[in-house]
Structure 1
Protein backbone atom coordinates (compact mmCIF):
# COMPACT_ATOMS: atom_id res chain seq x y z
CA UNK A 1 0.00 0.00 0.00
CA UNK A 2 1.30 3.40 -1.00
CA UNK A 3 1.36 5.95 1.88
CA UNK A 4 3.62 8.86 0.93
CA UNK A 5 5.21 10.54 3.95
CA UNK A 6 5.01 14.06 2.44
CA UNK A 7 1.22 14.28 2.80
CA UNK A 8 -1.22 14.33 5.71
CA UNK A 9 -4.13 11.95 6.17
CA UNK A 10 -7.69 12.37 7.48
CA UNK A 11 -9.25 9.53 9.48
CA UNK A 12 -12.00 9.28 6.82
CA UNK A 13 -9.44 8.24 4.15
CA UNK A 14 -8.79 11.53 2.39
CA UNK A 15 -5.38 13.20 2.18
CA UNK A 16 -3.97 16.71 1.90
CA UNK A 17 -0.67 17.69 0.38
CA UNK A 18 0.22 21.14 1.68
CA UNK A 19 1.98 23.59 -0.64
CA UNK A 20 2.16 26.94 1.13
CA UNK A 21 -1.42 28.08 1.74
CA UNK A 22 -2.85 25.53 -0.72
CA UNK A 23 -3.94 21.96 0.06
CA UNK A 24 -4.23 19.43 -2.75
CA UNK A 25 -6.89 16.90 -1.69
CA UNK A 26 -7.80 13.37 -2.77
CA UNK A 27 -8.61 9.91 -1.43
CA UNK A 28 -6.02 7.50 -0.13
CA UNK A 29 -4.67 4.44 -1.87
CA UNK A 30 -6.39 2.38 0.85
CA UNK A 31 -9.77 4.02 0.09
CA UNK A 32 -9.57 3.56 -3.67
CA UNK A 33 -8.56 -0.09 -3.17
CA UNK A 34 -11.58 -0.72 -0.91
CA UNK A 35 -13.94 1.04 -3.33
CA UNK A 36 -12.84 -0.89 -6.39
CA UNK A 37 -13.15 0.62 -9.85
CA UNK A 38 -14.13 4.28 -9.54
CA UNK A 39 -16.87 5.12 -12.06
CA UNK A 40 -17.87 8.67 -11.12
CA UNK A 41 -16.67 11.51 -8.90
CA UNK A 42 -18.97 14.36 -7.77
CA UNK A 43 -16.93 17.36 -6.63
CA UNK A 44 -17.66 20.94 -5.54
CA UNK A 45 -17.34 23.94 -7.84
CA UNK A 46 -14.47 26.43 -7.88
CA UNK A 47 -15.40 29.15 -5.38
CA UNK A 48 -17.26 26.80 -3.03
CA UNK A 49 -16.11 26.55 0.57
CA UNK A 50 -15.37 23.24 2.25
CA UNK A 51 -15.27 22.65 6.00
CA UNK A 52 -12.88 20.24 7.71
CA UNK A 53 -14.62 16.95 8.63
CA UNK A 54 -17.66 17.78 6.45
CA UNK A 55 -18.68 16.12 3.19
CA UNK A 56 -17.36 17.86 0.06
CA UNK A 57 -18.32 15.31 -2.59
CA UNK A 58 -19.01 11.71 -3.50
CA UNK A 59 -17.12 8.95 -5.23
CA UNK A 60 -19.02 6.08 -6.88
CA UNK A 61 -17.67 2.68 -7.74
CA UNK A 62 -19.17 -0.56 -8.98
CA UNK A 63 -19.55 -1.56 -5.32
CA UNK A 64 -20.85 1.57 -3.58
CA UNK A 65 -21.06 5.34 -3.32
CA UNK A 66 -18.97 6.95 -0.59
CA UNK A 67 -18.92 10.45 0.83
CA UNK A 68 -15.70 12.43 0.67
CA UNK A 69 -14.68 14.23 3.87
CA UNK A 70 -12.64 17.42 3.73
CA UNK A 71 -9.31 17.12 5.57
CA UNK A 72 -9.07 20.94 5.79
CA UNK A 73 -11.29 24.01 5.51
CA UNK A 74 -11.09 26.67 2.83
CA UNK A 75 -12.11 27.85 -0.61
CA UNK A 76 -11.97 25.49 -3.58
CA UNK A 77 -9.64 27.17 -6.08
CA UNK A 78 -9.31 24.31 -8.56
CA UNK A 79 -11.11 21.06 -9.40
CA UNK A 80 -9.48 18.18 -11.26
CA UNK A 81 -11.57 18.35 -14.43
CA UNK A 82 -9.86 15.25 -15.83
CA UNK A 83 -11.82 13.10 -13.38
CA UNK A 84 -15.14 13.80 -15.12
CA UNK A 85 -13.89 11.99 -18.24
CA UNK A 86 -11.37 9.67 -16.55
CA UNK A 87 -12.51 8.78 -13.00
CA UNK A 88 -10.22 5.74 -13.15
CA UNK A 89 -7.30 8.12 -12.46
CA UNK A 90 -8.35 7.89 -8.79
CA UNK A 91 -7.52 4.17 -8.90
CA UNK A 92 -4.44 4.43 -11.07
CA UNK A 93 -2.76 7.40 -9.37
CA UNK A 94 -4.56 8.47 -6.15
CA UNK A 95 -1.78 10.85 -5.05
CA UNK A 96 -0.79 12.37 -8.38
CA UNK A 97 -3.17 12.37 -11.36
CA UNK A 98 -6.18 11.33 -9.23
CA UNK A 99 -6.19 14.40 -6.95
CA UNK A 100 -9.65 15.93 -6.58
CA UNK A 101 -9.61 19.54 -5.42
CA UNK A 102 -7.21 22.31 -4.44
CA UNK A 103 -8.22 24.35 -1.41
CA UNK A 104 -6.91 27.71 -0.21
CA UNK A 105 -6.58 27.08 3.52
CA UNK A 106 -8.75 29.25 5.77
CA UNK A 107 -7.11 27.87 8.94
CA UNK A 108 -3.61 26.46 8.36
CA UNK A 109 -3.47 25.16 11.96
CA UNK A 110 -5.99 22.44 10.99
CA UNK A 111 -3.17 20.66 9.18
CA UNK A 112 -1.60 19.85 12.55
CA UNK A 113 -4.70 17.77 13.44
CA UNK A 114 -4.20 15.43 10.49
CA UNK A 115 -2.38 12.10 10.68
CA UNK A 116 1.11 11.42 9.39
CA UNK A 117 1.68 8.32 7.25
CA UNK A 118 2.67 6.14 10.23
CA UNK A 119 -0.41 7.10 12.25
CA UNK A 120 -2.68 6.53 9.25
CA UNK A 121 -1.08 3.15 8.62
CA UNK A 122 -1.90 2.12 12.23
CA UNK A 123 -5.49 3.31 11.76
CA UNK A 124 -6.11 1.08 8.73
CA UNK A 125 -4.30 -2.04 9.96
Structure 2
Protein backbone atom coordinates (compact mmCIF):
# COMPACT_ATOMS: atom_id res chain seq x y z
CA UNK A 1 0.00 0.00 0.00
CA UNK A 2 2.93 2.35 0.71
CA UNK A 3 4.02 2.32 -2.93
CA UNK A 4 0.48 3.13 -4.05
CA UNK A 5 0.30 6.19 -1.77
CA UNK A 6 3.69 7.45 -2.93
CA UNK A 7 2.76 6.77 -6.58
CA UNK A 8 -0.51 8.69 -6.32
CA UNK A 9 1.34 11.65 -4.82
CA UNK A 10 4.06 11.36 -7.46
CA UNK A 11 1.53 11.59 -10.28
CA UNK A 12 0.00 14.71 -8.73
CA UNK A 13 3.43 16.29 -8.13
CA UNK A 14 4.69 15.63 -11.66
CA UNK A 15 1.55 17.03 -13.27
CA UNK A 16 1.62 20.03 -10.93
CA UNK A 17 5.26 20.74 -11.81
CA UNK A 18 4.46 20.57 -15.52
CA UNK A 19 1.52 22.97 -15.14
CA UNK A 20 3.41 25.44 -12.94
CA UNK A 21 6.37 25.41 -15.33
CA UNK A 22 4.14 26.11 -18.33
CA UNK A 23 2.32 28.88 -16.50
CA UNK A 24 5.45 30.65 -15.27
CA UNK A 25 7.32 30.28 -18.57
CA UNK A 26 4.44 31.98 -20.38
CA UNK A 27 4.76 35.01 -18.12
CA UNK A 28 8.50 35.44 -17.58
CA UNK A 29 11.82 36.09 -19.24
CA UNK A 30 13.11 32.80 -20.63
CA UNK A 31 16.78 33.66 -20.01
CA UNK A 32 16.46 32.85 -16.29
CA UNK A 33 14.96 29.60 -14.92
CA UNK A 34 12.21 31.26 -12.85
CA UNK A 35 9.88 28.25 -13.00
CA UNK A 36 12.36 25.80 -11.48
CA UNK A 37 13.39 28.35 -8.86
CA UNK A 38 9.74 28.86 -7.83
CA UNK A 39 9.01 25.13 -7.88
CA UNK A 40 12.02 24.25 -5.73
CA UNK A 41 11.37 27.14 -3.30
CA UNK A 42 7.69 26.29 -2.87
CA UNK A 43 8.46 22.56 -2.64
CA UNK A 44 11.09 23.21 0.05
CA UNK A 45 8.58 25.19 2.10
CA UNK A 46 5.83 22.61 1.64
CA UNK A 47 8.07 19.67 2.58
CA UNK A 48 9.13 21.47 5.76
CA UNK A 49 5.53 22.30 6.60
CA UNK A 50 4.29 18.79 5.83
CA UNK A 51 7.05 17.33 8.01
CA UNK A 52 6.06 19.57 10.90
CA UNK A 53 2.26 19.50 10.75
CA UNK A 54 0.79 16.52 8.93
CA UNK A 55 1.23 14.03 11.78
CA UNK A 56 -0.26 16.55 14.21
CA UNK A 57 -3.18 17.52 11.97
CA UNK A 58 -4.08 13.98 10.82
CA UNK A 59 -2.84 11.56 13.51
CA UNK A 60 -5.45 8.94 12.68
CA UNK A 61 -3.90 8.50 9.21
CA UNK A 62 -0.46 7.68 10.64
CA UNK A 63 2.12 8.33 7.90
CA UNK A 64 -0.19 8.16 4.84
CA UNK A 65 -0.51 11.98 4.38
CA UNK A 66 3.26 12.36 4.51
CA UNK A 67 3.75 9.50 2.04
CA UNK A 68 1.31 11.12 -0.40
CA UNK A 69 2.19 14.80 0.08
CA UNK A 70 5.77 14.76 1.38
CA UNK A 71 7.35 11.86 -0.46
CA UNK A 72 5.05 11.63 -3.49
CA UNK A 73 3.93 15.17 -4.35
CA UNK A 74 7.02 17.07 -3.16
CA UNK A 75 9.37 14.39 -4.47
CA UNK A 76 7.93 14.58 -7.98
CA UNK A 77 7.22 18.34 -7.87
CA UNK A 78 10.71 19.51 -6.94
CA UNK A 79 13.63 18.82 -9.21
CA UNK A 80 17.33 18.86 -8.44
CA UNK A 81 18.23 17.47 -11.84
CA UNK A 82 16.53 20.33 -13.71
CA UNK A 83 18.13 22.85 -11.35
CA UNK A 84 21.58 21.37 -12.05
CA UNK A 85 21.01 21.21 -15.81
CA UNK A 86 19.79 24.82 -15.96
CA UNK A 87 22.76 26.08 -13.92
CA UNK A 88 25.20 24.31 -16.24
CA UNK A 89 23.28 25.57 -19.29
CA UNK A 90 23.64 29.16 -18.06
CA UNK A 91 27.39 28.65 -17.70
CA UNK A 92 27.64 27.12 -21.19
CA UNK A 93 25.75 30.15 -22.54
CA UNK A 94 28.38 32.36 -20.91
CA UNK A 95 25.83 33.68 -18.42
CA UNK A 96 28.09 33.05 -15.42
CA UNK A 97 26.58 35.77 -13.22
CA UNK A 98 23.06 34.48 -13.85
CA UNK A 99 24.27 30.97 -13.05
CA UNK A 100 25.81 32.11 -9.76
CA UNK A 101 22.67 34.08 -8.88
CA UNK A 102 20.50 31.08 -9.72
CA UNK A 103 22.56 28.66 -7.60
CA UNK A 104 22.74 31.06 -4.64
CA UNK A 105 19.04 31.96 -4.81
CA UNK A 106 18.08 28.31 -5.16
CA UNK A 107 20.19 27.05 -2.28
CA UNK A 108 19.77 29.90 0.20
CA UNK A 109 16.09 30.35 -0.62
CA UNK A 110 15.43 26.60 -0.47
CA UNK A 111 17.13 26.27 2.92
CA UNK A 112 15.34 29.32 4.30
CA UNK A 113 11.91 28.27 3.07
CA UNK A 114 12.38 24.72 4.28
CA UNK A 115 13.31 26.06 7.72
CA UNK A 116 10.29 28.39 7.74
CA UNK A 117 8.03 25.49 6.78
CA UNK A 118 9.55 23.26 9.45
CA UNK A 119 9.91 25.74 12.30
CA UNK A 120 7.36 28.43 11.42
CA UNK A 121 7.77 32.05 10.51
CA UNK A 122 10.22 34.03 12.65
CA UNK A 123 8.47 36.04 15.35
CA UNK A 124 8.67 39.82 14.97
CA UNK A 125 10.01 41.98 17.77
Taking structure 1 as the reference length, the TM-score comes to 0.27
Which of the pair is proportionally richer in helix?
Answer: 2
Which entry has the higher C-alpha Rg, 1 or 2? 2
Taking structure 2 as the reference length, the TM-score comes to 0.27
Structure with larger RCO (C-alpha < 8 A, sep 6+) = 2
Which of the pair is proportionally richer in strand?
Answer: 1
